[in-house]
Amino acid sequence: MSRLRVAIGEQLKSCPQVITLGERPQMADYTDRERRLLCGADTIFFPTARFVDIFATLGKETFPSINCYRLRGNRLKHTILFRLLDVAHPRTRVYYGHKQKGEILSDFVFPFIAKKVMRTSDSENIFLIDDPEKLDTYNKSCNPAYIQEYVAGEQELRVVILNHRKVFGYWRAPVGDDLRGNLSRDEGWKMAEVSPEAISLAKHIARAAGLSYVAVDMILDGSRLWVLELNFQYEKIGDFHPGEDGVKVIIEMIERGEL
């Protein structure tokens, strides 16, 4: 029996196996027939943050999974997840308010990494802090303060996991001597085979957390892999795999019955 696949987001509008409805402001903007399609769907693709919780309440399977949306844009949740899974993650602490922020320089020495915690685009709002002035500027604009140990790495890795399978591997070398190691950037990725250890680690995180579509960013310091953060960028589907047609890969997986 064929599966009924319906999409809200338009990423798969070229896929004949998926009925794409498009994103609309309110559920009332869909016709009665379209709402029946959503209620009868075996899988709802790209449900959007607006509707994913409701679909989960109804017991609907979504792609990406609801846990992808729950973790998206919240680095504090990423850190909690990594600690619970006991994966190597740079030492990180979160400071709330002026009083707690006053303890940062007692816990960390320059240079270290500061990030915006929530409601931030993936791979953005990451700062290298190497003097008190930069720390003061960061503290004034970000609360809570998310402070992370700087790890000097030889190579940055990104492993894209799609339905618990490794799909793409990328690496990039840190730039020059400007301490760029923990500063995740969108440019400079090169597609390459990454180590089996990195793939295994990314798959472990995706399976344990129920993440059907995620990019796991890591850094190799010569002796071990450190997991930096997770990336979820569904509006710009090509960001995980520059130079590759990510939509084509998802469609092929649908055709093979893997999604």
Would you kindly state where each structural domain of the chain is located, as residue ranges? Answer: 5-63, 75-149, 152-255
**75-149 has CATH 3.30.1490.20 classification:** yes
Can you read off the two tokens belonging to residue 237?
């589907």
Query: Would you tell me how many other CB atoms lie within 10 Å of the CB of residue 238?
Result: 12
pLDDT score of 154: 81
Give the lowest-confidence range in 61-70, 82-91, 248-257. Answer: 248-257
Structural tokens at position 194: 């990454």
> Can you give the pTM of this predicted structure?
0.90
| pLDDT for res 237 | 52
Per-residue pLDDT of 191-241, as tens digits, reads: 888 899 999 999 999 999 999 999 999 999 888 999 999 998 765 555 566
pLDDT greater than 70 at residue 49: yes
Rounded to 5 degrees, φ, ψ at 251 are: -60, -40
pLDDT band (50, 70, 90) for residue 33: very high
Whole-number Å distance between alpha carbons of 245 and 150? 33
Burial, 46: exposed, middle or buried (Cβ in 10 Å; 0-12, 13-18, 19+)? Answer: buried
- Nearest CA to 67 out of 249, 230, 191, 250 is that of 230
- At which residue do the structure tokens 């500063």 appear? 183
Backbone angles phi, psi at 246, to 5 degrees: -65, -35
Q: Identity (one letter) of the amino acid at 161?
A: I
Q: What are phi and psi of 8, to 5 degrees?
A: -90, -60
Considering the four listed CATH numbers 3.40.50.620, 3.30.230.10, 1.10.3720.10, 3.30.470.20, the one that applies to the domain covering 152-255 is: 3.30.470.20
Q: What value does the mean pLDDT of the chain take?
A: 89
